[in-house]
Structure 1
C-alpha cells in the first residue's frame, strides 16, 4: 500500500511540475492544466456577460497558481502518509495519536512546501529526510515563478493596448478614407508599423496565451473592438495606385491572417476568414467591433 501511495504521489508531483514548466518556461506557454483552468473560467465569465470585468484574467491566473500549490501539497502528502507517525519525531507536548495520519501528512507537506520550518514534526526516515528538501525547493521555486508569471503578463498587455489606441487614432481621423491623398512614403511607413505591431501581438499570444483572457473594460484599449478597422485599411491599401503602398497593404494583410489564424486555432475555434475571426474575437470579449 505504501508503494502505491508513493507512486501516486510522485505522479501528482510530476504532473504539477510539468504543467508549471510548460506554462512558465516553454516558449509556447501551453500548460495543459493551466489552459483548461483559464479557458474554463473565461467561459464562465463570458456566459455571465463578463461581470467580473478586468478581474477575470488575474483571477484565473490566481486559480492556476492555487492548483499548482494543491498538486504539490497533495502529492507530497501521499509520499509522507505511509511513514506517519513512525518515520517522524514530534516535539514535546505533541501526541501523534491525537491526529489522523492523513491530516498529519497534509500538514507536514504544506509546512515543508511553504518552507515554514516550525520544527514540531521532523522526519527521521532516511528516504524522507533526503526527499523533503526537494519539496521545500519546489515551494520556493513555485512562489518565485508565480510572482514572475504575474509581472511578465503586463508588457504584452501594454503592447496590445498601445496598438488598440493607435488603430483608434487612425479610425477617428478616417485615415483609410484619405489614404489616396497621403504621401505614399508616409502611408507605407504607417502600414508597415501596423503590420509589425500586429506581428508582435501574434507572438504575445503564442508566448503569453493567458493574455487572451484579460478583459478590457475601456473600449478604447480593447484590441478586440479596434482591430476590425485594420481590415478596411488593408483593403484600401491593397487597392492603392502606388506599388509601395500596395506592398505594405499586402504585408498588413499577411500579418492579420497570421494573427487571426492564431486566435482561431488556440482560442476561438471559429471563423473562415480574418473578418469572421476578428468578429468572433470581439464577441468573445463582449465588444462591438469598430468598422
Structure 2
C-alpha cells in the first residue's frame, strides 16, 4: 500500500502548490482551488458565532486577519502532510535514523517532513538514496519559497487594505460623514457651478474604484476585512459613488450643467461603478446572495426629493421637472442598488450603516 500513500501525498502537494499559485501569483485570484471555499466557510463560522456575542461587529472584524493565518496554515499543513505521505513507505529503508532503529509510524514521517520543509537541515533522520535526497532538497526549496511568497503576500494585502481604507475615509469626509452623495455633490459645486476640478474629482473616484476592483481580484481575502467602523464598508463606498452619478444625471438642471452631465468623467465613473459591482458580485458573493430583500422605490423617491432640496438650498440649479427627475433616479438606481444590497447583506451590514435611513 506504500504506492497508494505516495500517490495521495503527491496529490496533496500538487493541490497546495496549485492553490498558492492561483491565490498569490495569478492576478485573478477568484480561481483559487481551496482559498475561496475556505474563505466562505470561515465567514459562515464567524457569522454564526457573532450571533451569540454582544460585540458582533468586533468579532466579525477579526475575520480578515484570521483568514490569512488559516489559509497559510492550511498550505503548510498540506505540504507537510503530502511529503510525509511520500516519505512514510521509505522509513527504515531509504530513510533511516542515525545509530538506532528507525521508527516507521506516520508521526515520524510528519516529523521528518516538517523538519525538511522549514529548512532546518537533515536532523537525526537522513535519506540514504539519491531519490529521497533529491526529494528532501525539493521540499526544502519549496518551504523556503512558500515562506518568502507568504511574507510578500501579507505585505501586499495590507498595503492594498490601507489604500482601500484611505479611499473609504476620503468619501466619508467628503459626504460630511453621512454617506449622502448630495452633500458631496453640493460641496463640489459650492459656488453654484461645477468647474474642471469637479470632473477631476469624479475621475479620481472612478480610478480609485478600478484600483479597488483590481485589488480584490488579486487578493479576494480583502473583501473579508470587515472593519468595525461602517464607513470602511465596501458597500458604502460603492453606494456613494453610484448615488453621486445618479444624482448628477437626474437632479441637476440639464441646461445649466450640461457640460458636467455629459462629461467623460461622469460616464467613466458610472461605467467603473457598474463594472465594479458586476465583477465583485461574480468573484466574491456566493450564488445564494442573489436572494435579496426588496427595497421600497418610494423610499428612493423620498431620498431624491431631499437631495434636490439640499442641492437647491446650496444655490445649485436643479431640474425643473422634479417628477421626471425622480423617475429617472429610480430607473437608474434599479441597475445598481440590488448588487449593493446583496454585498451589504452578505457582509452582515444593516442597510442603515450603508445609507443612513433619512437618505434611503
Give TM-score, length-normalised by structure 1: 0.91
Mapped partners of 1:235, 1:179: distance in 2: 15
**Corresponding residue for 1:76?**
83
Match of 2:47 in 1: 46
Structure 2 unaligned spans of 5+: 51-55, 178-182, 293-333
| More displaced 10-residue stretch of structure 1: 77-86 or 40-49 | 40-49
Q: CA deviation at 1:178?
A: 5.8
Query: How far apart, CA to CA, are the structure 2 residues paired with 1:273 and 1:220?
Result: 23
| Correspondence for 1:136 | 140
Alignment of 1:1-291 (within 5 A): 1-29=1-29, 30-47=31-48, 48=50, 49-92=56-99, 94-96=100-102, 99-117=103-121, 119-172=123-176, 174-177=183-186, 181-239=192-250, 240=252, 241=254, 242-246=257-261, 247=263, 248-268=265-285, 269=287, 270=290, 273-287=335-349, 288-290=353-355, 291=359
Aligned length: 288
Q: CA deviation at 1:236?
A: 2.0
Which of 75-84 and 221-230 deviates more?
A: 221-230
> Bigger radius of gyration, 1 or 2?
2
Q: Any idea what SS the aligned residue of 2:214 has?
A: helix
Q: Contact 2:213–2:276 (CA<8 Å) still a contact in 1?
A: yes
Distance 2:225 2:44 in 1: 12
Shift of 1:51: 4.8
Structure 1 segments unaligned to the other structure (5+ residues)? none
> Are 2:5 and 2:85, in contact at CA under 8 Å, matched by a contact in 1?
yes
How far apart are residue 124 of structure 1 and its match?
Answer: 0.4
Alignment RMSD, CA only? 2.1
**Aligned 8 A contact 1:199 1:259 in 2:** yes
Which moves more between the two structures, 186-195 or 62-71? 186-195
Q: Are the equivalent residues in 1 in contact too, given 2:206–2:269 (CA < 8 A)?
A: yes
Stretch deviating more after TM superposition (65-74 or 268-277): 268-277
